[in-house]
Amino acid sequence: MDNLKITLQYLMPKHLISRLAGKIASARLGWFTHFLINRFIKAYGINMSEAQFERAQDYATFNEFFTRPLKDGIRPLATDSNMIAHPVDGCISQLGPIVEGKLVQAKNHDYSLRSLLGGDIATAAPFQNGDFATIYLAPKDYHRIHMPVTGTLRQMIYVPGELFSVNPLTAENVPDLFARNERVVTIFDTELGPMALVLVGATIVASIETVWAGTVTPPAGKNIFRWTYPAHGKNAITLEKGAEMGRFKLGSTVVLAFAADKLSFLDDQKPGSVTRMGAPFAKLK
């Protein structure tokens, strides 16, 4: 059955299905939208008591529900200046050192840091021998992405690609999954040096957005696009630790990369650990 599921992913028109799902998710369909939301809440056991708006009727579109804000204070931020905070609610897939330019995807699978970041040697170079973490956001999770540390945006890269599912089964069976799927790469200057925060698309992920650029995809393209941003001045984009930096419309994965010898992941952080945005994740060396 698992082999069949993987084979179907190779065969099905993933972009078409995803864009159609996006149209439905963004449409104001009245009672049908509220029906879909209620079914989704029940199917995935979503804790709506954490949401700022708790009823399906409070959302005009499925996307509004999916990117729902949380109540103030529901995710306390690790304010210690030596602590890196979790950027999302989810589950750690993998974390550890970047070895010879490779990141672990799953058991017996690794992939190229350079490919993940869009193929440019200079972009990948600062992260060689550094550390990475991959966090999977399930459909039930909160889908806004926040800053683990304060950072100034220096580069954003749109990388076209496939839209495979990013669930654990696919990660264990599709080679180079995160460097294969469509994604938005962001590079920040931080007190830890450079930090890459990669938003990976997936099947029926209708949109990836950032707070400074709005919707980055769709529309999708066949070319890599790069945007650069100033380090200083009135046009510089600096986001504080804990601030929202982007969001997924339907679930996916984030990959973090840091320079060498800058942080140590906390002992209780390991593959399979549940994450909560703002909670302690790692500490400065």
Query: Hey, which residues are catalytic here?
Result: 89, 146, 252
101: left (phi over 0), alpha (psi -120 to 50) or beta: left
Residue 280: is the preceding peptide bond cis (ω within 30°)? no
Instruction: Please classify residue 266 by burial: count the beta carbons closer than 10 Å to its beta carbon, then call 0-12 exposed, 13-18 middle and 19+ buried.
Output: middle
**Cβ(127)–Cβ(263) below 8 Å:** no
Beta bridge partners of 282: 84, 265
**Residue recorded with tokens 């002992």:** 267
Q: How far is CA 218 from CA 15, 67, 115, 228, 248, in A?
A: 10, 16, 21, 20, 12
Report strand pairing: 131-136 vs 253-258. Answer: antiparallel
